[in-house]
Structures are given as C-alpha cells and as structure tokens.
Amino acid sequence: MSNQAVFQPGQVIFREGEASQEAYRILRGRVEISILADGKPVILAQLGEGDIFGEMAMVDERPRSASAQALEVTECEVLTPENFNDLVLSRPEVLIPYMASFFERLRTANDRLRLEMRLRAKAEQTLASGVIAAPGAVPVPRVVAPKVVPIAPPPSLESAGIDRACQGAPARTGDHHFQVSLPDRAETRGAG
C-alpha cells in the first residue's frame, strides 16, 4: 500500500518550511536531516537503513521543521496520509515502526527539556548562592560588603544642642537606635 522512491546523492527530499506530509522509511542508503540557523545549515542527524523521518508532518499537518537530503543513492518507502489512513484500518501493524519513531522523538524532546530545566535550575541556584565561576575555574564566592552607616558622636554634646530633658530618652537615626545619656554638668565641667 505504500509507495517507493529513489533519491540520488545530494537530492533534496523535502525542505524546511515546505508543506508536505509524507513520511519515509529508508530501505537502503543514507539521509541527512538539517535545519538553517542564521542562514547556515546545522546537521541534526544522519540516518540509515530502517530509520524513519518526516513522520511529524504527516501527524501534525504543519510545515516541515527540517530539511532532508540524500547523501548517497537512497531508496525509501513513502507513506502518504492516504496510505496511513488505509493502513490504520487494514494493517495497523505496518504502522508500528512509524509510530515508534514518532514516540521516540517525543521522548527525546522530553528528555532534552528535562535536561534544560535541570541546567537552568542549577544556574539559578548558583546565582542565588553567590558563587560565580568561569568554565574550568574554581568557584569563588562573591563577597558583598555590608552597608556601613557610621554614627559619629558630636564633638560636644552641649554644642550639638541636646537638651537635658532628652537625657535617657531613646533617639533614632536611620534604622539604628541608641540611648542618649548626658553626663551631669558638674562632671562635664570638672573633666575639662
């Protein structure tokens, strides 16, 4: 029920962004899967005999997420959406490799996402702990100097205009509390 196609070396089977829905199983040969990043091709995989590719477009009916190109003379089984529907009803066992490939890709994507989440959490934890390290370097704790608010006593309590009535009353400067205790005037004069 499925068709077969032969692709020559360098022949593009489908392009990223293209609207096509066929899935392929390699019977012989090799295929390269790639995407464009910043205008340059990035190779995602090189597939060989028995491998399946293109199945996502058949299931989600969206444009191709990558390009496929034959690396050598390659013969493929081609599964169209029509073939897929017929096989679901008549011979679902034929679809097992296609579905297994689809679920394996989904599992791989989930594993990558979990890894990304663990790496992100570790990076956030490292930042929160204040440890900054360059690749290959020994982590060095980040030192943050405490905020220092100096409180200098006035040169002379009398010249600062502190009234005797305030003696023993708490005074507040910023977030610091302190007690004002004035010596007896007689003590102050005798000390001078």
* pLDDT for position 145: 54
In this predicted structure, the answer to whether residue 137 has a pLDDT above a threshold of 80 is: no
Query: In this structure, which amino acid lies at residue 166?
Result: C
> Structure tokens of 47?
């597939």
The two most distant CA atoms of the chain are separated, in Å, by 116
* pLDDT for position 53: 93
- % of residues, the chain, pLDDT over 90: 32
Contact 11, 33 (CB under 8 A): no
Output the average pLDDT for the chain: 76
pTM above 0.95, yes or no: no
Convert the pLDDT of each residue in 77-130 to its tens digit.
999 888 887 887 888 888 788 778 778 877 877 888 888 889 988 888 888 887
Q: Given pLDDT bands bounded at 50, 70 and 90, which one contains residue 180? A: very low
More confident: 7 or 132: 7
In this predicted structure, the answer to whether residue 163 has a pLDDT above a threshold of 50 is: no
* Domains, the chain, ordered by start: 3-126 (2.60.120.10), 162-192 (no CATH)
Give the Cα separation of 33 and 67 in Å (integer).
Answer: 6
What is the pLDDT averaged over residues 21-46? 94
Give the Cα separation of 192 and 46 in Å (integer).
Answer: 94
Give the Cα separation of 52 and 57 in Å (integer).
Answer: 12
* pLDDT for position 151: 57
